[in-house]
Copies of this chain bind each other. A is one copy, B any other.
Amino acid sequence: MTPASLDTTTTTMAARLSTREHYADLLDKYDTWLFDCDGVLWQGDKLIEGATEVLQLLRHHKKSVLFVTNNATKSRKNYKKKFDSLGVEAHVDEIFGSAFASAVYISSVMKMPKDKKVYVIGMAGLEEELREEGIQYIGGTDPEDNTLGSFSLADWTPDPAVGAVLCGLDTSINYTKLSKAFNYILRNDGCAFLVTNEDSTYPTAEGLLPGAGSVSAPLRYALGRDPIAIGKPKGTMLDCIRAKHDFDPKRTIMVGDRLNTDIEFGKAGGLSTLLVLTGITKESEITGPNASPTVPDYVTNSIGDLRALLS
């Protein structure tokens, strides 16, 4: 997958991009460009220098530009507001979040009957995507479940209509929600155990916080089994994109900052992959004796590097 015109010592090393020719070659080879957002286009509330120009350049060359994020706390509509506030052109149907993908999975893949409900551990954006997909849910932001009060099974009437537990990042995580979710999976016949994504941490401007995977870890541990995960690196997210957009995997590239989500997602889907170093992954993780076994096809410092094509 590495072109002869690019510098690579062996086929198990990423091609390091740096010249105008490298970027021109990339532009030529790929029609569909999938972008992770945080750590690629912006860092928290700060736009990566040159990101807007590069996206404009791709659109100018009639490339399909799609945004693929594991963030499940925001709906696509709300996520678009983030693009707007940073002055980055994006359309709701170009945005794929793990909240949306989870809703699509429940309605189109699981085909959960309409009279069934989802018990949600998650925030308003996740609820919004379920609502838009016509899926009934309980839990989530319901004040009754957002409490540090004690929980007793004796005082609880479980809803027999709950056919799935869906867990995403929830900064109001508490023992009542965990106890209900655990008992629904344990007691309700055939109740599915789904998580929006398995990111262990969540990057903020001041450092890391526990991510969606950490929020669902108590359920995984108490149940002694793994959930069905929807977001990157799982293929469910790509199935969801495929349902809405035509693309040729051979002419599609995934651009991301995380090896274990973005790059693995692209590779598992048969796409080419470009790692940028403006986010989670550090240079030391891709070179030297302790390099990760996950090797992207290409590496460049920043998405802004593609501005070389403008000169």
Contacts and interface: CB of A to CB of B under 8 A. Distances in A.
Interface of A: 146-148, 150-154, 170-175, 178-179, 182-183, 186-187, 200-201, 204-211, 213-215, 217-222, 224
B224 A210 contact: no
Contacts of A224: 200
29 contacts: A146-B148, A147-B148, A148-B148, A148-B172, A150-B171, A151-B171, A152-B206, A153-B206, A153-B207, A171-B175, A173-B174, A175-B209, A175-B210, A178-B214, A179-B209, A182-B208, A182-B214, A200-B222, A200-B224, A201-B222, A210-B218, A210-B219, A210-B221, A210-B222, A214-B218, A214-B222, A217-B217, A217-B218, A218-B218
A206 B152 CA distance: 8
Interface SS of A by simple majority: mixed
Contacts of A186: 207-208
Given A146-B148, A174-B173, A204-B152, A209 B221 contact: no
A49 B178 CA distance: 34
Integer count of this chain's copies in the complex: 2
Nearest to A154: B206
Most buried by B among A154, A206, A217: A217
B214 A154 contact: no
Given A200-B222, A218-B218, A221-B200, A210 B178 contact: yes
B148 A174 contact: yes
Given A214-B218, A222-B214, A173 B172 contact: no
A196 to B, nearest CB: 15
Given A175-B173, A218-B217, A154 B205 contact: yes
Contacts of A182: 208-210, 214
Contacts of A210: 175, 178-179, 182, 218-219, 221-222
Contacts of A217: 214, 217-218, 220-222
- Centre residue among A171, A183, A204, A206 by max chain B CB count within 10 A: A171
